[in-house]
Amino acid sequence: MSDHDWQAPGGAPAPGSVPGPGSSSGAPAPGGSPHAGAGSSDAPYGAPLPPPLPNAPGAWAPPPKPGLLPLRPLAFGTLLWAPFTALRRNPAATFGSGLVVQLVSAIATVAVVVPFLIFTFSRIENAAAEDLDSLTAGSVGGLLLVMLVPIAVSIIAAAFLQGVMVVEVATATLGERLSFGALWRRAAKRIGPLLGWTALVTLAVLLVVAAFVGVIVVGAITSPAALVVAIVVTLLGGIGVAVLAAWLGTKLVVVPSIIVLEHVGIGTAVRRSWRLTDGYFWRTLGTLLLVALILNVAAQVVVQPISFLGTILAVLIDPNGTGSGLTITIITTVVTFILSIVIGAITAVVQAALVAVIYIDLRMRHEGLDLELARTVELRDAGQPVGDPFAPPTAGAAAT
């Protein structure tokens, strides 16, 4: 080594020497970048480079997560557990809404059906023998008509809960936490189209059930052989209808979210949902089925042991059926009913939230909604006015 090549550690090169790799002449080292040295430009050539500073240009940063969801297309695990996170993040508003819906449906059923049954049984007990058949048939028909009232109440309540959870997931993704009243007021603005969509789905289900029941009734009236044929046709038709319902239900699953967040009508929402689920049918269907399975298993694990324990205790206390175990039976029934209400509220909230999470994920994948949400959060945090990030894309954006 010549004297001209010598350089003090960390010092400048000797006058007249040629800057070598890793020198501080300003030229990047081979294979390096202007920011690779971020703290020292005298690292020897070939040595491992220190990581870039967090805010250095070109440095990787995780996608922002201002609230419930990370602002990027969701991984399957995130998609699966986000509805449960939504329930835990704002329980007073979410679980409270589900509980209100379940209680309203239960109260409507009890208030309408129980008095009708009491009235009907009293008439049947006091009826003459020749009037018994016609009275029983009329009672069955009357019960079916009376059941339309709690069904209608349940439809309205379910539509409202769907709207509430769509608003909750959307605002929670932006980092907001709305109160019970604020959620319900926002959902109420779109309750009309939501009710229309829910009524259409319910009507389609009732028509299919009525058609199957009609086939069986006609077969029973015709002959025993016709009844067997009708039952076989109903079973095979039921399988076909189940497959068709799974397909249509998956393709149209985000219609409620579109109605609420994009402020469009039912027809536009149906077309949007059909397009958004393109390419993600099986992923969406699998998520829906898996969450439903998790909820069903959890409900059975909680309810069934208590019901079984109550039955065992009643048998042990009153093995001869004298009525002394009636108290245990009543207590078990009440506890099971309360648990069913609570679990039903949790199930309804999680499934409604899942639909909203799927909608946001699909728009991130198809339309880059994550970029619009990130821009909205940045402008909001900077105190600048922001628009509605969930507004439907323009024709040009939608085409891309």
DSSP string, 333-377: HHHHHHHHHHHHHHHHHHHHHHHHHHHHHHHHHHH-HHHHHHHHH
- Say how far apart CA 91 and CA 354 lie, in whole Å: 16
- Say how far apart CA 199 and CA 205 lie, in whole Å: 10
Asked whether residue 217 is assigned to any structural domain, the reply reads: no
Domain range for residue 138?
A: 76-189+279-376
Asked whether residue 363 is assigned to any structural domain, the reply reads: yes
Those residues with Cβ within 8 angstroms of residue 52's Cβ, 6 or more apart along the chain or in another chain: 35, 36, 38, 58, 59
In this predicted structure, what is the pLDDT of residue 320? 67
Q: What is the DSSP letter of 58?
A: T
Asked whether residue 371 is assigned to any structural domain, the reply reads: yes
Asked whether residue 399 is assigned to any structural domain, the reply reads: no
- Say how far apart CA 143 and CA 190 lie, in whole Å: 32
- Say how far apart CA 35 and CA 2 lie, in whole Å: 32
Buried b or exposed e, range 301-313, using 16+ CB within 10 angstroms: eebeeeeeebeeb
In this predicted structure, what is the pLDDT of residue 58? 52
Asked whether residue 132 is assigned to any structural domain, the reply reads: yes
> Chain-centre distance of CA 117, in angstroms?
36
Question: What percent helix, strand, coil does the chain show, rounded to 5?
Answer: 70, 0, 30
In this predicted structure, what is the pLDDT of residue 323? 63
Those residues with Cβ within 8 angstroms of residue 157's Cβ, 6 or more apart along the chain or in another chain: 100, 101, 104, 105
Taking only the tens of pLDDT, the chain with its 400 residues reads 444 444 444 444 444 444 444 444 444 444 333 333 333 444 444 445 455 444 455 555 556 788 888 989 999 989 999 999 999 999 999 999 999 988 988 888 888 888 878 877 777 777 667 666 677 767 777 777 778 888 888 888 888 899 999 999 999 999 899 899 999 999 899 999 999 999 899 899 889 988 988 888 888 888 888 888 888 999 999 999 999 999 999 999 999 999 999 999 999 999 999 999 999 999 999 999 999 999 999 888 888 888 778 778 777 776 666 666 677 778 888 888 888 899 999 999 999 999 999 999 999 999 999 999 999 989 888 888 888 899 888 744 444 4
| CB-CB contact of 169 with 353 (8 Å) | yes
Asked whether residue 204 is assigned to any structural domain, the reply reads: no
> How many folded domains does the chain comprise?
1
Q: Angle, to 10 degrees, between the axis of helix 91-126 and the axis of helix 326-367? A: 130
In this predicted structure, what is the pLDDT of residue 334? 84
Asked whether residue 257 is assigned to any structural domain, the reply reads: no
In this predicted structure, what is the pLDDT of residue 385? 83
Q: What is the DSSP letter of 385?
A: -
Q: Angle, to 10 degrees, between the axis of helix 369-381 and the axis of helix 326-367? A: 90
∠ CA 115-121-122, nearest 5°, is 90
Asked whether residue 381 is assigned to any structural domain, the reply reads: no
- Say how far apart CA 21 and CA 323 lie, in whole Å: 96
- Say how far apart CA 305 and CA 325 lie, in whole Å: 18
- CA atoms within a 13 Å half-sphere pointing along the CA-CB vector of 137: 4
| CB-CB contact of 194 with 259 (8 Å) | yes
Those residues with Cβ within 8 angstroms of residue 75's Cβ, 6 or more apart along the chain or in another chain: none
Q: Residue 145 is inside which H or E element, if any?
A: helix 132-146
- Say how far apart CA 202 and CA 199 lie, in whole Å: 5
- Say how far apart CA 291 and CA 83 lie, in whole Å: 9
In this predicted structure, what is the pLDDT of residue 343? 92
